[in-house]
Amino acid sequence: MSGESGDDERDESDATREQRRVRFGVLLGAVFAAFLISGIAEPGEAGQVSRLLLNGLTLVLALIAAEAPMRRVRRVAGAVVVLAVVGVLASIIGHPDSTTGRGLDAVLLGCSIPVVIIGTIRNLNRSGTVTLEAVFGVLSVYVLFGMFFAALFGFIAEIEGASVFGPNAASTVAHCIYYSFTTLTTIGYGDLTTKTNFTHTLSVSEALLGQIYLVTVVSLIVSNLGQSHSLRRGGKEPAA
């Protein structure tokens, strides 16, 4: 009887781990989908609505991956729908990719980042091992950083009423995504550059964040994939 009970617990644990892996995998897929749509879509109402919905979906999936209470997930999902409607109205009343739309993008992405971080840490604590879910989580955060800074650059441009890249290049969503990720990865092609002290500082901050995050968090997680860690049980390794 005890052997059968142990098998049942192990099967249940394996099923739970598989569910978490699927959740984090879907989250990473949604993050990349939002990135691709933002980088490819032409300026317009359709692009703004699709971005808001995908960014909102990312936040909802992040909450699910973090195993937040379903009541909270439903509330956030409802709020995302409301924000999408606000984004549509803003684009109709004002213009597509307006200050409201860029600001909502930044809020949704900015909220998603800490939720994914918390969910990843929680998964590490529960599993006692650096799993594939943790890799999915840290990669999701990295891409979200780039998208968040892109939304900030666009929001700043809308507030100032002028392109952050000067008169020769508009601050479209695609341009901001392109500039943000070339900065985050420190590639720096140089074809787009910002023009104010504040955006210069923001760009340097993003580059520092991107490099520090890659050489510490991402490299640490990937290099220890499958290894036990000491984040749970007061710093003790989990029992074998």
Residue 228 lies in a domain: no
| pLDDT score, position 140 | 96
| pLDDT score, position 167 | 82
Number of domains forming the structure of the chain: 1
Residue 235 lies in a domain: no
Distance CA 227, CA 114 (A): 24
Residue 232 lies in a domain: no
Residue 240 lies in a domain: no
The answer to whether the beta carbons of residues 23 and 65 sit under 8 Å apart is: yes
| pLDDT score, position 234 | 46
How far the first Cα of the chain sits from its last, in Å, is 22
Q: Which tens digits make up the pLDDT trace of 138-161?
A: 999 999 999 999 999 999 998 888
Distance CA 49, CA 28 (A): 20
Residue 164 lies in a domain: yes
Low-confidence ranges of the chain (pLDDT < 50): 1-12, 232-240
Residue 238 lies in a domain: no
| pLDDT score, position 97 | 63
Longest dimension (CA), the chain: 76
Element (H, E) at 198: helix 197-213
Token duo for residue 134: 């943790």
Distance CA 25, CA 116 (A): 12
Element (H, E) at 47: helix 45-65
Residue 73 lies in a domain: yes
Residue 237 lies in a domain: no
Per the DSSP assignment, residues forming a β-bridge with 228 are: 129
Supply the DSSP symbol for 240. -
The answer to whether the beta carbons of residues 125 and 97 sit under 8 Å apart is: no
Token duo for residue 198: 């504040």
| pLDDT score, position 179 | 96
The answer to whether the beta carbons of residues 149 and 183 sit under 8 Å apart is: yes
Closest residue by Cα to residue 145 from 220, 214, 43: 214
The answer to whether the beta carbons of residues 30 and 64 sit under 8 Å apart is: no
**What is the residue range of 59's domain?**
9-223
> Please, what is the Cα angle at 232 between 227 and 59, to 5 degrees?
85
Its pTM stands at 0.85
